[in-house]
Amino acid sequence: MEFDKARFKKMFPNLAEELESGEHKVSTNSVRTDAQKGESAASKRFVHYIPDVIDFIRRCDTEEQAEEIIAFMEKRGEIRKQYAKRLRRQLRDKGVRSFGSKKEENFYLKHGQK
C-alpha cells in the first residue's frame, strides 16, 4: 500500500507532524538480524522483577520525596500501615540514604545480567 505525502498528512496529521519535527528521534546503535542472538544478548537479571518501596525510595533525592512514595504506596495498599510507620521512622531518624545508595537513571538497564 502506497501513500503520497499529502494523503498521509491528511489521514495522520499528528503522526506526520511528529515525523517531520524530528523531536522524538531514537538512535539505534546496533542491529541484530538473528533473533536468537538478540534474545540471548538481552538482560535476564531483572526479567519479571517488580520494584518494591525500597527500590523507589532509593531513587529519591530528598526525605520529602521518600515520604511521598511511602504515603502513595500505603494509600494504594501496596504496603501495610505498620511497615509504612517503620519506614517513616527510619527515614526521620537515619535519612533517605539509610535505605541504600541512590539508584541512578536506567539502573535496571545498566545492571542487567547478560
Q: How many domains does the chain have?
A: 1
Q: What is the domain extent for residue 63? A: 53-110
Cβ atoms of residues 102 and 58 within 8 Å: yes
Residue 77 belongs to a domain: yes
CA–CA gap between residue 9 and residue 3 (Å, rounded): 10
Residue 67 belongs to a domain: yes
Average pLDDT on 63-68 reads 95
pTM tops 0.85, yes or no? no
Residue 42 belongs to a domain: no
pLDDT tens, position by position, 30-51? 555 566 665 555 555 555 567 7
Residue 79 belongs to a domain: yes
Burial status of residue 57 (CB atoms within 10 A of its CB: 0-12, 13-18, 19 or more): buried
CA–CA gap between residue 73 and residue 18 (Å, rounded): 36
State the average pLDDT for the chain.
78
pLDDT tens, position by position, 10-26? 888 888 888 788 766 65
The runs of H, that is alpha helices, within 1-114 are 5-11, 13-21, 35-41, 53-57, 63-75, 81-94, 107-110
